[in-house]
Amino acid sequence: KEQAPKEGERESKPQPKAWAPTLPGYLSFLVESKVVYDTLEEAFKDDTHPEYAAFRNTGLERSAGLAEDIEWMSSKYGLSVPVPQEDGPGKTYGAKVAALVKSDPQAFICHYYNFYFAHTAGGRMIGNKISEMLLDGHNLKFYQYEGEVQELLDDVRRRINQLAETWTPEQKAHCLEETESSFKYSGQIMQRITAEDA
């Protein structure tokens, strides 16, 4: 019969590594994120779903700012801009989102909501931390908005609620069920921040 280890004999668990963003990893994160933002922002031009038109030019768009940030980081720190790989987190998530645009509007809106809204909250806090740790306090365009962020969010939330009023209870439930998937895919992109190379 096995006995529990005595006090002092218990194996010490390895301490989790401190969160350590790197310049190449952060640049990779921006590049992979831009792939998804490009896909989302392009999706709203899809005329086969006229309901998407309400989400054009909301003020939450990030692609243009990301393009400037990627160029700035590359130039400032002498980094090569990584090319997103087909099996990388950005293209993988972008492909999923692009498929949902056509086939599953409720799931697509869930991904849109979570990707943009998470960035305005925790994403901006992470951006501030990385700015202090790696970028000498430089504030990237990715984290800058024209106007009050809360007002932009409230407006988009209102548009989503208006759209959801046209859905059946089953479609609303389906939208919510997609949340876990959206966090999984965005989490894979976040992991790039601590990569040792781009």
CA distance 29 to 196: 12
What are 163-171's contacts with CB under 8 Å, separation 24+?
A: 163/51, 163/54, 163/109, 164/109, 166/51, 167/106, 171/106
- Report how far residue 4's alpha carbon sits from residue 118's, in angstroms, rounded to the nearest whole number: 44
Quick one: which of 76, 75, 95, 77 has its CA closest to 85?
Answer: 95
Q: How high is the pLDDT of residue 66?
A: 98
CA 27 to the chain's CA centroid? 14
Q: What is the pLDDT of residue 24?
A: 97
Residues 6+ apart with CB under 8 A from 104: 174
- What pLDDT sits at residue 16? 65
Quote the pTM value.
0.89
> In this predicted model, what pLDDT tens digit does every residue of 119-157 receive, in sequence order?
988 889 999 999 999 999 999 999 999 999 999 999 999
Compute the distance between CA of residue 5 and CA of residue 3 in angstroms, rounded to an integer.
6
- Of 7, 106, 93, give the one whose Cα is nearest residue 52: 106
Task: Report the run of H or E that residue 169 belongs to, with start and end.
Answer: helix 169-177
User: How does pLDDT run along the chain (198 residues), one tens digit per residue?
Assistant: 555 555 555 555 666 678 899 999 999 999 999 999 999 999 998 888 899 999 999 999 999 999 999 999 999 999 999 999 999 999 999 999 999 998 999 999 999 999 999 998 888 999 999 999 999 999 999 999 999 999 999 999 999 999 999 999 999 999 999 999 999 999 999 999 999 876
> How would DSSP label each residue in 80-94?
PPPPPPTTSHHHHHH
Answer yes or no: are the C-beta atoms of 28 and 80 closer than 8 Å: no
What letter does residue 48 receive in the DSSP assignment? T
